[in-house]
Each structure stands twice: as structure tokens, then as C-alpha cells.
Amino acid sequence: MPRKKKTTETAELPPAEIIDQPITETIETNYMPYVMTVIVSRAIPAIDGFKPAHRKLLYTMYTHGMMSGGYVKCATITGDMMHLNPHSTDANYDTLVRLTRDYGALLHPLIDSKGSFGKHYSSDMKAAAARYTDARLEKICAEIFRGIDKNAVDMVPNYDNTTTEPTLLPTAFPNVLVNPNMGIAVGMASNICSFNLAEVCDGTTAILKNPNTTSEKLLDIIKAPDFSEGGQLIYDREQMLSIYKTGVGSVRLRAKYRFDPKENCIEIFEIPYSTTIELILKKLTDLLKDGKLREVTDFRDEIGLSGFKLAIDVKRGTDVPKLMEKLYRLTPLEDSFRCNFNLLIDGAPRQLGIAEILKEWIRFRMGCYRRELVYECEQKEKKLHLLLGLGKILLDIDRAIKIVRETEEESMVVPNLMEGFSIDEVQAEYIADIKLRNLNREYIINRIREIESLQSEIAEMKAVIGDELKLKSELIKQLAEIKKKYGQPRRTEIVHIGEVAVPDEDELVENYPVKAVLSREGYFKKITMQSWRGNDEQKLKDGDVISVCCDAENADEVLFFSDRAQVYKAKMSDFDTSKASSLGDYIPSKLNFDDGEGVLYMCPVREYAENVNIVFVFENGKCVKVPLSAYETKTNRKRLTNAYSSASPAVAAFIEREPFEIMLYSSAGRALVVSTAKIPVKTTRTSQGVSIFTLKKDNKVISAKKDPSEISEDPSRYRRGKLPSSGIALSDADSGSAQIKLL
């Protein structure tokens, strides 16, 4: 029997109700909470120098006893971290990797690691899986957690109220400036570079002693950022002072190298903190393909157990310093670190300078240390209170024993001791719990001796708690101890900007012969001679033709004359090499021409010689020669207005190194062959020139071509001894040829 088809009835849902809501209200109720969560709880570091994920990871390791003992599997650590940071274990592991010694991102690593954790200077070298790697806290973390068990910071419930975690870590040194941090929130970001620990401790001490310490004075103490990758920092004092004051700016970093003359090899052993070896290798590959590094024969990544090394083989006789200046300019071997000191202060983001950051840290640290002292003072006062009760027993130990022995009920021991010795319940409980073996005079006298030392310590603590100057003095001592214990020499070398050679731009340009090709529509190609010989078929848009094709060199300057009497100047090296099979660069877009402006002529220039001219032909039949030197500028100007006369539209332009003939065509079908030797030179660029082609009303010159012998069967027919001339009517053969040429 065939099965009956099931029919299902679906109930129609009522249409969703559409509620009108102002966009501002939508943003306020739905978007702003998300924004604030990202800023406060994820991306922006706080005054302790940590983002929430870092803080949760370190506290998890601290509470699990990883300050001492052996290594623990990272898989265990990231799993335990889920109690505080319920994201994926992969996200937790990424957080752990960045803080490790093996990864190398921090000046003072916070996690001692064992295994493969990748490298900060490589985007391809990844950390091994968490089940294979091990970690524990570094010794410097003792300063990160100093006082955390003594109520130094607030503790809050974790996300499911099963435990507590600190809102901040009571760092005993300004970790916020010692280790770098970066975060991207919504509408804001933070990028804090690292500074040398010893210098930061000295700078903080200076502000503790004199809160009015200026940024200028601070700059003499904390000299400049210091990065874990080392390298060189190009030091500009004014620029650095601006960063110290505002918290915004950028610093230039350079790779460090050494040259082995025996092997003819440059060894790069330190690179800027902000780049990777993959970016450097990619740029070197591109430059070598483009023929811009003819001094380099090979390069390779030689990273090994000894550390970072990038080897660059060069040709014999190469000027290595000059080549390195070129590489600094063209590759990420010189890079910038953009500073943006955005921090959470009391839960709100603020952009601060170095002095302001240290003052905020001092305020935070003084609060932590004061709370720590208050906690210790309370503990000592409790102990003192017990010992004062014990001291009363010293007067009559036998009586205390008798009271305990003759008390019939255990619950009455404490009340009877309270009554017998006039002590309170806490003291009586303490005395009642003393072991029988300790009820001897020696034990009791030794305990009582502690009373004086406790009273002295409590008095000192209260004096410090109530005196800001004494609090600061204690912080200064702590910073001196930390500097002595963990301070290390600078890794990043400071090179003053005056010591850096400023190479001539032309010297850095690799020079080689090229073909410069310009089409009538404004497409430009720079083709190497090797590529030119391989393929001479030029790709062009439909209807487009080549208007200029000439030899040039890559170091040449190139002038582009527009149809609006302007000239745009560029470097031939600014253009990438093209192939004949490509369209090339669209010049009006590349050089930011005005709207509707087109290219009239292109001219490569090696030098602005006095005997070289630019010939202009105008619609009204006039021609003029302007010296090429008229377009030479002392400054690096990109555009010159009034490059030639705008009284009549220009039809054509040519460069004249030696006189040559041009053939002019009129709209009336007439032509005239003229030698450029008969066109006068005018020193003023805007000169209208002289009349060459006599035209009737409503007629105009529509074109001008070089080398008439290649255009006309009989060019002598159109030559005239006397100028101006009305030209000669085109022959039938030349008329057809002209139409083809003018398409």
C-alpha cells in the first residue's frame, strides 16, 4: 500500500511589532554598554600595567603556588584560568605565551617558560600546543604580588561567585612603563612602549622626592624607550619630550648589523620591535625582483640557537654603510613605534604623559602600601593584646593551673580565667589553649619580651601610615632594592639624530636604463630594457595610442606637461617597473591632476641643461621655445603653474636638444613643415611665441608631429622659406595618412 503523505499545519505567527526608537536611545541602551565593557574589561591596561586577561592569568598561577617549585603544564594553567577568565583555553594560552621569557616580547618576562613558545620577531614561528609546554612564575613576580595577601588591593567575586580575584595587582615598581602593552578598544586604543627598569625606578624616585619634577628633568633620567628586541633608537630630544608630555608620538627604530668582509656578508642581529623577519624578507624579495638591490646577491633567514640573524650577501666592493642607509629607507629594517599612552585610571580611560603616569602610579602604590601597613599593624596589635594577657599569668602561674584544674566544667575554664586574672575572652582563650609543656617560666618570659618589640613596631607603622613623607621614603627604599636586584643595562642603543647620516635621495635610487612610454590617454609605463627586448607589443586601451616613447634612466626626473598649462614633476624611481602587457599608471590620478585635466607631453630630465628647450605648438598657429632650465626648482616642488602660455590651447610639445623638423596640420586640411631652429626662444614661460602657421577664421592647428619624413611621402612639399605661412593643402596620400595618424 502506498504511504499517505503527511500534512503538517503551521500556525501563522502574528507579525512582529515594530517599535519606533530614537537612534540615540538605541546606542545608549545597546551599544554603549558593549563599548564600556571592551574599554574597561578587555583592551585597555590599568595603572598596574596589566589588562584583565594578564591579571587573571598571573593571579591564577600565584594562587596555585607557581612562585616556587617545578614547572607546570601550560594546559593545566590555562584550564585553571577558566575559573577567572571563561574564554577559550586557546585565548588564555595566547595570553600566557606573550608573557613568557622564550617569546621575548617583554623586557622583564613574568613567566619562566620551557618549550617552544615562538618568537615575537616572527609571525610564522608559533608556540607549540599547551600540552607540550611548561611554565611557572618568574622571581620578579614577587614584586608584582607584594602585599596582595595583606589586603593591599580590593578583592572582588569572580564571574560565578565561586572565588575572588584582585581588581589590580599591587606592583611594587611601575610595571606599566617597564613592560610594553597594546590594546584596541572601541573608538580608542593604547600602545605603551617599554622603558628600562633601572631608569624608571630612578625617575619614580625623583618624583617621590620632588612632585614638581618636570618632563625635561625626567627625560634626563628616563632617557628613552628600551625594547626587548634591542636595535637602535634614533633620538630626537624635542620629539621625545613631546611624547613624555602628551603620551602621543612615534619613535624611529633601526636594526643593528655587523659586516663580515671575508664572507662579504651583512649580518642583521637585532631588528625593530615593531616589525617581523617575514615582513623584512618579503620587502627584500620585492626589491630584488624589481632590480632595486643590484648590490645584493642573496639573503636568508639564519635564526638558530644563538638567536636572531638575517644574512645579506653583497657584491665585492659594495659600500656597506650606503647600502644599509638604502635598506633602512626601503625596508622595515627601520620602522616606527607609535606611542599612545592610554590607561584606565580609577576605571576611566585617560591619555597621560610619563610624569603623569608615574604620579598616578605613586598614588596607587601609596594606597596599596598604606593598606598593607594597616593590615600588618592590626595583626601585630592582636598579637600584642594576647601577649599582654599572657603577661598577667607570669605573676602567678600556679594559680592559673589551679583555676583550670579545679574547674568542673570545660565551658567554665575561660570565664574563670577571665575573672581570676581580669583579662578578656580572647586573651583567656589564648591562655587556655597553651600546651602544658609551655606553662613554664622561660616560655612565658620569652613571649613577654616580644611585647616591647611589638609596641615599637606598631608605633613605627602608625607613624608611617599617618605621614606621607615617611610612606614615600619607604617606597624609595623598595624601588632601590628592586633596581639593585632586577636592573639591567639598556638593550636599545640610543643614536642621536645628528649622528645619523642623511643620504641624498638620488644616491639611494638604483640607476639603470629604462624605456618611458606615455599614451595619449595619459597612461605611463616604466619598462626595463630587458623586458622591452622581450616584448615590444604594448597593451593600450581601445582607441588609445602611444604619444611619447623615449630612453631614460631610473634616476631621472620626469616632467608631465598638462593641457592646462601646468607641469607636474616626479621621479622616475617613484614609478614601479611595468611590462608591455600592462596598462601602466594613470598619470592624472597618480599625480593628483585637477578634475578634467589631461596629459599633453612627458619629458625625462637628467639635468637642466641651458641649450635644451621645450617646443610648444598652439591652436592659433603660434609656436614658442622655453628653456628647459625654466622648470628647474631649488625646492622639491611637485607642481608648477603657468608652465606655458594659456592664451591659446596647446596642441603639442617636444623636447629639443638639437634642431629638428615638425609637421603641423590645420583643420582646413593644410600642412606646414617647420624646423625648430626657426622658432625663437623666450625666457618667459608664459610667452605666447610667434606666428608660424597663418590660419583663416575658424581654422586652427589640430596636430603637430615630429619627423615629417616618416609621415609624408614628400615632406619637402610642405616646407616654406618664409614664415609665417598658410601651409600647403595635403596631398591625397598624405591626407589619408594624416587621418590615420590623427585617430
Query: Average of pLDDT values for 601-628?
Result: 93
Residue 472, Cβ density class (10 Å: 0-12 exposed, 13-18 middle, ≥19 buried): buried
Q: In CATH, what is the architecture of 256-332?
A: 2-Layer Sandwich (3.30)
* Model confidence at 13: pLDDT above 70: no
Fill in the amino acid letter for 98.
Answer: R
What single DSSP character describes residue 722? Answer: S
Q: What pLDDT does 528 receive?
A: 85
The packing angle between helices 74-81 and 52-63, to 10°, is 110
CA dihedral 237, 243, 246, 250 (to 10 degrees): 130
Classify 610-625+644-743 by CATH class.
mainly beta
Residue 144, Cβ density class (10 Å: 0-12 exposed, 13-18 middle, ≥19 buried): buried
| Backbone phi, psi, residue 523, to 5° | -95, 130
* Model confidence at 99: pLDDT above 90: yes
The DSSP secondary structure of 111-131, one letter per residue, reads EEEES----TT-SS-PPPPTT
CATH superfamily membership of 36-171: Topoisomerase II, domain 5 (3.90.199.10)
Fill in the amino acid letter for 522.
Answer: G
Q: What pLDDT does 510 receive?
A: 72
Q: What pLDDT does 530 receive?
A: 78
* Model confidence at 740: pLDDT above 60: no
pLDDT-based confidence at 257, cuts 50/70/90?
Answer: very high
CA nearest neighbour of 618 among 710, 716, 730, 695: 695
Q: Determine contact, residues 293/322, Cβ cutoff 8 Å.
A: no
* Model confidence at 145: pLDDT above 90: yes
Q: Determine contact, residues 307/324, Cβ cutoff 8 Å.
A: no
Fill in the amino acid letter for 84.
Answer: L
Q: What pLDDT does 742 receive?
A: 47
- Which range is least confidently modeled, 67-76, 259-268, 492-501? 492-501
Query: Mean pLDDT: which of 160-169, 179-188, 510-519, 606-615 is highest?
Result: 160-169
| Backbone phi, psi, residue 176, to 5° | -60, -30
Per DSSP, which regions of 120-210 are E strands?
Answer: 134-137, 155-157, 164-166, 181-184, 189-192
- Which range is least confidently modeled, 227-241, 425-439, 640-654? 425-439
* Model confidence at 66: pLDDT above 60: yes
The string of pLDDT tens digits covering residues 537-567 is 788 888 888 999 999 998 899 999 999 999 9
C-alpha R_g of the chain: 41
Domain boundaries, given as residue ranges, for the chain: 36-171, 256-332, 365-486, 511-606, 610-625+644-743
Contacts of 519 (CB under 8 A, 6+ apart): 540, 541, 544, 545, 546, 547, 584
* Model confidence at 104: pLDDT above 60: yes
CA nearest neighbour of 337 among 275, 292, 280: 275
Question: In angstroms, rounded to a whole number, what is the distance separating the alpha carbons of residues 729 and 717?
Answer: 10
CA nearest neighbour of 365 among 218, 208, 197: 208
Average per-residue pLDDT for the chain:
89
Element (H, E) at 25: helix 23-26
465: cell is 601610615
Question: In angstroms, rounded to a whole number, what is the distance separating the alpha carbons of residues 419 and 386?
Answer: 16
Fill in the amino acid letter for 170.
Answer: P
Question: In angstroms, rounded to a whole number, what is the distance separating the alpha carbons of residues 599 and 451?
Answer: 97
Active site residue 244: no
Options 1.10.268.10, 1.50.10.20, 3.40.50.2300, 1.10.238.10; CATH for 365-486 is 1.10.268.10
Q: Which of 34, 132, 369, 644 is catalytic?
A: 132
Q: Determine contact, residues 718/671, Cβ cutoff 8 Å.
A: yes
* Model confidence at 743: pLDDT above 60: no
Residue burial 363-393, b: 16+ Cβ < 10 Å; e: rest: ebbbebbbbbbbebbeebeebbbbbebbbbb
* Model confidence at 531: pLDDT above 70: yes
Residue 290: count other Cβ atoms within 10 Å of its Cβ.
12
Query: Average of pLDDT values for 149-173?
Result: 95
The string of pLDDT tens digits covering residues 462-520 is 999 989 999 999 999 999 999 999 999 999 999 999 888 766 665 667 778 889 999 99
Q: What pLDDT does 434 receive?
A: 82
Q: For a pLDDT cut of 90, what percent of the chain falls above it?
A: 64
- For the whole model, what pTM was predicted? 0.74
- Which range is least confidently modeled, 29-38, 99-108, 353-362? 29-38
Element (H, E) at 741: helix 732-742
Question: In angstroms, rounded to a whole number, what is the distance separating the alpha carbons of residues 581 and 540?
Answer: 9
Q: What pLDDT does 735 receive?
A: 73
* Model confidence at 1: pLDDT above 60: no
593: cell is 591632476
The string of pLDDT tens digits covering residues 264-290 is 999 999 999 999 999 999 999 998 887
Better-scored residue on pLDDT, 494 or 580: 494
The string of pLDDT tens digits covering residues 376-418 is 999 999 999 988 888 888 778 888 888 888 888 888 989 998 9
Better-scored residue on pLDDT, 344 or 637: 344
Query: What is the distance of C-alpha 334 from the center of its chain?
Result: 12
* Model confidence at 738: pLDDT above 60: no
- Which range is least confidently modeled, 20-34, 294-308, 442-456? 20-34
pLDDT-based confidence at 642, cuts 50/70/90?
Answer: very high
Residue 711: count other Cβ atoms within 10 Å of its Cβ.
18
Give the total residue count for the chain: 743
Q: Would you call 319 helix, strand, or coil by DSSP?
A: coil
Bridge partners, residue 166, by sequence: 155
Q: SS3 helix, strand, coil % of the chain, rounded to 5? A: 40, 25, 40
H-state helical runs in 434-491: 441-465, 468-486
Q: For a pLDDT cut of 70, what percent of the chain falls above it?
A: 94
Residue 13: count other Cβ atoms within 10 Å of its Cβ.
6
* Parallel, antiparallel or unpaired: strands 111-114 and 334-340: unpaired
| Residue bearing cell 590660419 | 695
The string of pLDDT tens digits covering residues 671-730 is 999 999 999 999 899 999 999 999 998 899 999 998 888 788 888 889 888 889 999 988
What single DSSP character describes residue 468? Answer: H
Q: Determine contact, residues 628/612, Cβ cutoff 8 Å.
A: yes
Better-scored residue on pLDDT, 2 or 171: 171
